[in-house]
Structure 1
């Protein structure tokens, strides 16, 4: 329960101002000398402590429209018509010729003048009556609007409401707007604090001068309410996906892996051919892959490597290997060409390497597919590396990511044999979902490049891990830049 000594000076000022009468934020700012932002902040604090209550109400107010303002300045169409009749314009043609009333106004002007009994027709000609000088109800209503009266619908008489309905039929003569009003009043707990508001006041700031002089020992300080709500602060921060990437890199390094990187633009040789992907495979078509239009590049590989790759393809797939197809330039469809080229260059006896980078697939964007995403990939090589070692590495990696339930299913990938698909259990969805693919590089991949030992490899889309971590059902939300979501993701997740 709140007490006077724990109140902030802003709260005290607002409570004192409300002691006699209910008020609104603007009036409180004027009576207390506080800024409107300080008043709004104090209102939120007091509302949270149940010391004030806020009642909302709405008021319908009538304002002049553009045509209504013009009518006040120049007269209603029926008034201008009567004035023209008084000047001797007795027929519709004469009135239109004079320009007093516009063509689109003449029918409404005649109807209004007859309704007000301002004119009469005698042998087809208009004549002004004795009532022509009398002001109409519409004219009075518009004049009152200009003077600031009769503007609130709830306070109008029945006759005024009928006039309003008539004016609403005329486009842009009047506008009705809803204004919301908040009335702030003391609760029973707030009113009980009023007599004690001046008690317990003291210094609220501890300065360096107080400390060095020792004056703080004799100074009486105000109590601080440490349970009072603090305003939300949204400091600059990295995108949550970048946090995931950094976490993945840290895990790999902790498992003894070294990071490698390479260009996003690759030759077809390293992206497909070196991985024993047939040159007529559907994955190499424009429908699945982004090619750099009209570009070819000299294959960054030795003549011996190209010769061995050609031999493996012709033996394995039974068709002649075309170097022109291998020279085509693509946006990499995975990070494996970077990994494989690194292994072919250094030919390690024992090694662990990983990469995290952007890859590109010519796919239809959906809740689970993007044309550009991040792939995380790890490889390990040793003389006696086995599938059991690969599964152990995978389980250790997932455990450090906070994923405990993991199992593996046999599957097929073009350049690994045997191949497995890792499955992890999604607690929120209560089902198993696919995550990474894994396997041992085929001899057709490693032997032509002079890599002698088995190479364990696994990889997949990093965004899938992010979706699991953040509880998302649509991968596009990671890139939607929706501030509400970005601010809601905690920096450290347990």
Structure 2
């Protein structure tokens, strides 16, 4: 029997009594693993070898995971502080416990989101309790972290390992390991003798012109053999959907807005007729900048008109808020909590000059809020901002725009509920039905801007506006139940790789 050289070498390196890994066989056969794999599949097709596969997971601690192994998990620190504060006997103030725990920044949100999940206690209305029966010392996730650190992954709880991967505390690399074993026919072939055949794997001009191609033996190719799994990069599903949203809105006649992520409270809140003592303007809801802590330039005439709207109101029947309003607060720099700051810049003429109706503008940009992490809330997410400036707009125009927009994504069950906003009247929220759970999911907020917003900006016609969540749109399109699966430190990479993009 004659065989190509690589096949002969693989046959001779294989064993009839046990499986041998293909990389070991390749080393002994003095060839590359991919060449040995190809030869093994060709031999399997002829019944001389069997090829088996198994997926092996390799776990490695991330930098954050290594820190927790040295110290402790944030939720363990929170439980210890809550216990010291007497939370086992009854509720105590959460602020007091967080301060005593030493947790800061993102660690606070991590601790809070995992505290209740692990039944360490309950968090409600700013108070926290500690479950007397909880045992943080036996936390399965901490034990799994230690097992990974010590190379004892087989001893770790599988569910805990999955959770650690979701939290970004371990990186998991999966490897497909192939092994080969001689069949009875393979043993017989070796006993009878297998010779190396002179083969070529490429038809060259020289072979054609010389006529030698008639006398050589060409290497056989198995077109059904598995190719190496290459995990190449691809565009994130969130970005793909954002681009699709942009294309849809451009197709509906809208132009795209641009503007800063960090902006003055004046553009973020004051122009929207949100009083300066509104709870949503505190550090509990927004992220303030330390450097720079205020904006340099604001249009003085617009600042005065906005101040007047807040203090005295607009028009003969205007009331205003009669609450404190200072330019110092308006100049404070924050990360924008909504992209309506862009709308204020454009409608005022500050960004691209004065606009004459009709006009349609949109943006699909990131915003930042100091929310508690849960399946529908993140600290940063994408908002689909949009507005239409025209004469005699009505709520029916707004509802019709949403109906047309969401139908482009296969969503036809949008519902509306009246709502209150400081900056729009009338206002309403939008809801859709989750395709997997059947639950009603809020997807956005909208309304027609009040005179107290438009008059200081110098706009003399109607403007209808909205802010929609891109992540919630994905939930309705793909059935995601937790937006943390899509992006962030807990995202599910396998889910993103395997999800088929909808068009």
SS, match of residue 460 in structure 2: coil
Alignment partner of 1:418 is 2:422: no
CA separation of 1:286/1:185 partners in 2, compared to 1, >3 Å: closer, same or farther? closer
Structure 2 distance, partners of 1:329, 1:452, is: 29
Residue 489 of structure 2 aligns with which residue? Answer: 480
Alignment partner of 1:333 is 2:364: no
Displacement of 1:271: 1.3
Residue 300 of structure 1 aligns with which residue? Answer: 298
CA separation of 1:436/1:318 partners in 2, compared to 1, >3 Å: closer, same or farther? same
Displacement of 1:264: 1.8
- Kindly indicate whether the alpha-carbon contact (under 8 Å) linking 1:339 and 1:355 is maintained by their aligned counterparts in 2: no
Residue 389 of structure 2 aligns with which residue? Answer: 381
Residue 66 of structure 1 aligns with which residue? Answer: none
- Kindly indicate whether the alpha-carbon contact (under 8 Å) linking 1:55 and 1:184 is maintained by their aligned counterparts in 2: no
SS, match of residue 440 in structure 1: strand
Structure 2 distance, partners of 1:267, 1:286, is: 14
Structure 1 distance, partners of 2:502, 2:188, is: 44
Displacement of 1:392: 2.2
Residue 447 of structure 1 aligns with which residue? Answer: 455
- Kindly indicate whether the alpha-carbon contact (under 8 Å) linking 2:448 and 2:465 is maintained by their aligned counterparts in 1: yes
Cα offsets for 1:311-360 (capped at 9, x unmatched) = 32222323354333322222211110111220120232111111122222
Structure 1 distance, partners of 2:232, 2:345, is: 42
Cα offsets for 1:172-222 (capped at 9, x unmatched) = xxxxxxxxx998434478789999999999654345666899987998755
Residue 229 of structure 1 aligns with which residue? Answer: 226
Unmatched tracts of structure 1, length 5 or more = 57-180
Alignment partner of 1:372 is 2:380: yes
Alignment partner of 1:434 is 2:442: yes
Residue 278 of structure 2 aligns with which residue? Answer: 281
RMSD over aligned Cα, in angstroms?
Answer: 4.2
Residue 367 of structure 2 aligns with which residue? Answer: 359
- Kindly indicate whether the alpha-carbon contact (under 8 Å) linking 2:13 and 2:29 is maintained by their aligned counterparts in 1: yes
The correspondence for 2:306, drawn from 303, 306, 309, is 309
Structure 2 distance, partners of 1:233, 1:182, is: 16
Structure 2 distance, partners of 1:215, 1:384, is: 84
Once the two structures are overlaid, the 10-residue window that deviates more, 458-467 or 352-361, is: 458-467
Cα offsets for 1:249-271 (capped at 9, x unmatched) = 22222222111111122222221
SS, match of residue 390 in structure 1: helix
Once the two structures are overlaid, the 10-residue window that deviates more, 456-465 or 351-360, is: 456-465
- Kindly indicate whether the alpha-carbon contact (under 8 Å) linking 1:347 and 1:450 is maintained by their aligned counterparts in 2: no
What is the 5 A alignment of 1:43-442?
43=40, 51-52=49-50, 184-187=180-183, 203-207=200-204, 224-293=221-290, 295-298=293-296, 300-303=298-301, 305-314=302-311, 315-319=319-323, 321-345=325-349, 346-442=354-450
Structure 1 distance, partners of 2:404, 2:206, is: 56
- Kindly indicate whether the alpha-carbon contact (under 8 Å) linking 2:266 and 2:330 is maintained by their aligned counterparts in 1: yes
- Kindly indicate whether the alpha-carbon contact (under 8 Å) linking 1:412 and 1:420 is maintained by their aligned counterparts in 2: yes
CA separation of 1:224/1:310 partners in 2, compared to 1, >3 Å: closer, same or farther? same
Residue 119 of structure 2 aligns with which residue? Answer: none
Cα offsets for 1:418-471 (capped at 9, x unmatched) = 222222222122333111212211222112212122112111332333444554
SS, match of residue 371 in structure 2: coil
Unmatched tracts of structure 2, length 5 or more = 55-176, 312-318
Which TM-score applies when normalising by structure 2? 0.61
- Kindly indicate whether the alpha-carbon contact (under 8 Å) linking 2:276 and 2:324 is maintained by their aligned counterparts in 1: no
Cα offsets for 1:369-392 (capped at 9, x unmatched) = 222222221111221332222222
CA separation of 1:49/1:467 partners in 2, compared to 1, >3 Å: closer, same or farther? farther
CA separation of 1:482/1:453 partners in 2, compared to 1, >3 Å: closer, same or farther? closer
